[in-house]
Structure 1
Amino acid sequence: MASAAPTLEWERELAGQGWTLVAGCDEVGRGALAGPVSVGLVVIEAAKAQELPGVKDSKLLREPVREALVPAIREWAPASAVGHAAASEIDGLGLVAALRLAGTRALAQVAAELLPDFVILDGNQDWLSVPVQADLFSTGAATGAGAPMAVRTRIKADMTCLSVAAASVLAKVERDSMMVGLARDFPQFGWDANKGYATAAHRSAIALHGPTELHRRTWRLV
């Protein structure tokens, strides 16, 4: 049986509690052997936003459907962004800190337009809160130094909260596009198909050709 489509139910509950600008946040690329981790962020006016038909967790949508939804999501959300942390940053900082870095890059992009009051973070681990400090927001007059922001995790938010599902689509489409582009320079690894994930063919290619600078060299690659 098909899973129920995500809704704005929790976002509207948050609006009723006084949170005006709510952001959905989700990551992709966490388990890949190559390429970045990418964090999507979609900011909505929680009390005013309307449902957006067709949007689901990106893993439940075929690639052409995901790509076709991107313009609609960009138009639907007053602010949205995708931030990335490269394989070298994952190696140097660790995965959780790299997710934080990608998330703060996404936040810095949306802050030029709208800084959310509340962030819904998919999963059960809050990897985003630490960098929400004055050093991120003190450089721009539009954001204000030390702007308050609540971050709450929610398991399966990408399947139940429309803002998070929309963020997952943006992150997945942008990261996949990056990996397809990188595959032109490194065709032997099949990134256009596997998107950097740990398929048997990808591991075999690493064993045969050795890792590139785009591989996460601190990980068990073969």
Structure 2
Amino acid sequence: MSRASTARRTGPPVPTLRRERRLWNEGHRLIVGVDEVGVAPTCGAVVAAAVIMREGCHRIPGVRDSKTLSMVQRERLAPIIRKRALAIGIGAASVTEIDRLNIYHATHLAMRRAVARVGPHDHVLVDGRRIFGFEEHAGPYTAIIDGDALCYSISCASIVAKVVRDRLMAKLAARYPWYGWEHNRGYSSPDHRRAIAAHGVTPHHRRSFATVREALYGEQSALGLLGDAFAPPLEEPPIEEPPMDSRDAVAVAIEPEALRAVMIDVEAEAALSPP
């Protein structure tokens, strides 16, 4: 076996349209792929994307789980996905919502917002495990573990969501240049932790996360709080906003100048406006 063949066999899996084709054959025409990004970072919103690819479409070469792609590859693929998709919806949950609901429930809220904004649909394919109560808001759906690596529509959504959040963090980095968000994307890297120690916590840091709580209140206060992000919410998530026009949602997903529309959810208008 050649070295190239071995590399292909051991490289990242290539997502397929197998699940979409099965649903199309069953009469479901509008199939939504949903994925999120930004669960683990200590600051910034969690962002979800919902993508409907055209029935009978062919794969875009290079599309796979966004985590296996470079920034250059994602930025190249995102406009192609926009052009070929039937509809794209973007949803986000703000830092305030993450701290109030916990990251688990806030992530599901972002996903529900994305699905609501993608417009009419027949079935949803979502990355991960079954989500309690998700069908009530999103309609019939299938949860696929490692769906961002295995399912083409979800892979497309993962790329769109990653591009949106990376651009959002780059915009916030322009307002808070000490934290390196344009590079670390809000993850708890050594440089980010040193910046928090030197410059303090911003309004965009997640106070329910142990790293941030330790910076605010000391190590003892943070002990035992690492699992708090997955505790039951203190209150029910807010009611969804009316769906955004799908053309606007596509613009939000890809166009840098349209990122301000995402701020409806992430409550960051003040941070992006002149002081």
Q: 2:186 — aligned with what? A: 196
Once the two structures are superposed, residues 171-211 of structure 1 have per-residue CA deviations (whole angstroms, 9 ceiling, x without a partner) of 00010000011001111111011000111111121122221
Q: 2:146 — aligned with what? A: 156
The one-letter amino acid of 2:35's match is D
Structure 1 pair 120/128, CA: closer, same or farther in 2 (3 Å)? farther
Paired positions, count: 203
Question: Is contact 1:23-1:42 (8 Å) kept?
Answer: yes
Q: 1:186 — aligned with what? A: 176
Question: Is contact 1:20-1:117 (8 Å) kept?
Answer: yes
Offset at 1:105?
A: 2.1
Structure 1 segment 24-103 matched on structure 2, within 5 A: 24-46=33-55, 48-103=56-111
Percent identity among equivalent residues? 39
Offset at 1:13?
A: 1.1
Q: 2:206 — aligned with what? A: 216
Offset at 1:168?
A: 0.2
Once the two structures are superposed, residues 105-144 of structure 1 have per-residue CA deviations (whole angstroms, 9 ceiling, x without a partner) of 2123211xxx2211111112426716607xxxxxxxxxxx
- Cα distance in 1 for partners of 2:49, 2:118 equals 11
Once the two structures are superposed, residues 16-55 of structure 1 have per-residue CA deviations (whole angstroms, 9 ceiling, x without a partner) of 2232211111110000100010101101344x22222111
Larger relative helix fraction: 2
Offset at 1:77?
A: 1.0
Question: Is contact 1:126-1:151 (8 Å) kept?
Answer: no
2:4 is the counterpart of 1:14: no
Q: 1:121 — aligned with what? A: 126
Structure 1 pair 39/128, CA: closer, same or farther in 2 (3 Å)? farther
The answer to which structure, 1 or 2, has the higher relative contact order (CA under 8 A, 6+ apart) is: 1
Unaligned runs of 5+ in 1: 134-148
2:10 is the counterpart of 1:5: no
The one-letter amino acid of 1:16's match is N
Tell me the secondary structure at the aligned position of residue 82 of structure 2.
helix
Q: 1:109 — aligned with what? A: 117
- Cα distance in 2 for partners of 1:211, 1:37 equals 18
- Cα distance in 1 for partners of 2:123, 2:135 equals 15
Question: Is contact 1:6-1:160 (8 Å) kept?
Answer: yes
Q: 4+ residue stretches of structure 1 with deviation over 4 A? A: none
TM-score (norm 2): 0.70
Tell me the secondary structure at the aligned position of residue 134 of structure 2.
coil
- Cα distance in 2 for partners of 1:12, 1:128 equals 26
Question: Is contact 2:135-2:141 (8 Å) kept?
Answer: no
The one-letter amino acid of 2:208's match is T
TM-score (norm 1): 0.86
Once the two structures are superposed, residues 61-109 of structure 1 have per-residue CA deviations (whole angstroms, 9 ceiling, x without a partner) of 1101100111110111100122111111100121122112212221232
2:195 is the counterpart of 1:205: yes
Offset at 1:9?
A: 1.0
The one-letter amino acid of 1:209's match is H
Tell me the secondary structure at the aligned position of residue 126 of structure 2.
strand
- Cα distance in 2 for partners of 1:81, 1:193 equals 26
